[in-house]
Structure 1
Amino acid sequence: MLTILGKETSINVRKVLWTCRLLDLPWTLEPWGSGVRDPRVPEFMALNPNAQVPVLRDGDTVLWESNTICRYLATKAGDTALLPADALARARVEQWMDWQATELNAAWRPAFMALMRGSDKFDAAAIAASVADWNGKMAILDAQLARTGAFVTGPDFTLADVVLALSAHRWRMAPIEHVRFPAMEAYLHRLETVPGFAQYCGEATP
């Protein structure tokens, strides 16, 4: 049995939970995170020195970083649909996963933290710049979806879609001025048929 340390309202925890659902892996969720159980304690930081959720326990194995956990689970399960065995196909999936974790996350963080988490660390100029950057990064994703006409890396749903569907949902739910992206709108509609999308990209979970 896998143990996932985190809380379901965390977008990064939901990546892992959705991956488990898609792989039909049983898990238990041990509540940790802001407002639940503070991870900035020695017990938790012995598992993840960054004091961030999620953390995965799989027997004696401990892993942190949500995208890495998702890759580990798919590889261990031998699932070559979510994470292809072919080197180039796999690299395409991981390329978009890494882009999500670096370029995209950096773009939305100030606007999201100020407008949806109530942080007072960002002034109006920083928020406006973040919104513009966020829309700009989503334009990159929209152009990619327009090229594939289906999912992020092609005709099949992969781990790139797990992480970027959650990101696209967060963008859609944010109280910002949205650029209209037809390919992304079609993509989000297409995702409604994927098991777990309604649960992990639901209206109550930005």
Structure 2
Amino acid sequence: MTNNNALTVLGRSNSSNVQKVMWLLDEIEQPCLRVDMGGQFGGNKDADYLAKNPNGVVPTLIHEDVVVWESNTILRYLANHFRADGLYPADSVARSWVDRWMDWQLSSLGPANRDLFMRIIRTPADQRRQEAIDESRDRNAELFRLLDRFLERSKYLGGASFSIADIAVGPLAYRWLTLPVERPHYGNVQRWYDLLCERKAFRKHVTEIGLS
């Protein structure tokens, strides 16, 4: 699949939300320019950036004269624009399975996973509070237990085939399975995660970036 339209992603490579977008672009073979923004690079609170994305977070997608923000909205936009029906099915029922897990990632898993990540990776060792880490770990464990129960009867989050729902959740699963905490073994989550690790784009934009 080729395209001559210019795509630019504003955001740093170690952001899980940027990783989703870069992973999808790789899957659908759409080249882009990624510009470091946010975190240690700053710039996301500047007036020019806020004019594009009033939330002042990353990523922001620029596609010719179109600007899109919110990572899962960007995933849907790209899948729709480039007609990646295999990743975001047109059938309303099949699409609802993809959408519900993407919404779950934003509303439930995302905040809990971010707390755990921030309390370990982004907090200096001498300032970490084990009680807070344990609380975040337990909340993540509950959510991944829910995911494990679902994956007992489904190969991927959207059903039998890989979709943008897996892309939305995958980077957070990497964090959960990589962070230095004790965690229950969820066999179905591990089986699903192993499938993700077989994908070159997942390794390139998520696991090879590491935790930082």
Counterparts of 1:129-140 in structure 2, within 5 Å, are 129-140=135-146
Return the alpha-carbon distance in structure 1 between the equivalents of residues 64 and 157 of structure 2.
33
- Tell me which of the two structures has the higher relative contact order, counting C-alpha pairs closer than 8 angstroms and 6 or more residues apart: 2
Aligned-pair CA distance for 1:200:
2.0
| Equivalent pair of 2:7/2:61 in contact (CA under 8 Å) | yes
Q: Secondary structure at the match of 1:7?
A: coil
Asked if 1:68 is matched to 2:73, the reply is yes
CA gap 1:114/1:152 in 2 versus in 1, 3 angstroms: same
User: Percent identity at matched positions?
Assistant: 34
| Alignment TM-score, normalising by the size of structure 1 | 0.93
| Alignment TM-score, normalising by the size of structure 2 | 0.91
2:27 — aligned with what? 22
2:188 — aligned with what? 183
Match 1:95 to one of 100, 104, 122: 100
| Equivalent pair of 2:53/2:60 in contact (CA under 8 Å) | yes
Return the alpha-carbon distance in structure 1 between the equivalents of residues 208 and 9 of structure 2.
23
Unaligned runs of 5+ in 1: none
2:152 — aligned with what? 146
Asked if 1:7 is matched to 2:38, the reply is no
Residue identity in the other structure for 2:29:
D
Asked if 1:49 is matched to 2:54, the reply is yes
1:200 — aligned with what? 205
Residue identity in the other structure for 2:55:
N
Paired residues in the alignment total 205
Aligned-pair CA distance for 1:122:
7.6
Aligned-pair CA distance for 1:177:
1.2
Return the alpha-carbon distance in structure 2 between the equivalents of residues 158 and 3 of structure 1.
22
| Equivalent pair of 1:94/1:160 in contact (CA under 8 Å) | yes
| Equivalent pair of 2:13/2:209 in contact (CA under 8 Å) | no
| Equivalent pair of 2:105/2:168 in contact (CA under 8 Å) | yes
Asked if 1:126 is matched to 2:132, the reply is yes
For the aligned residue pairs, the C-alpha RMSD in angstroms reads: 1.7
Aligned-pair CA distance for 1:45:
0.9
Return the alpha-carbon distance in structure 2 between the equivalents of residues 39 and 131 of structure 1.
29
| Equivalent pair of 1:110/1:122 in contact (CA under 8 Å) | no
Where has structure 1 moved over 6 Å in runs of 4 or more? 119-122
Aligned-pair CA distance for 1:156:
0.2
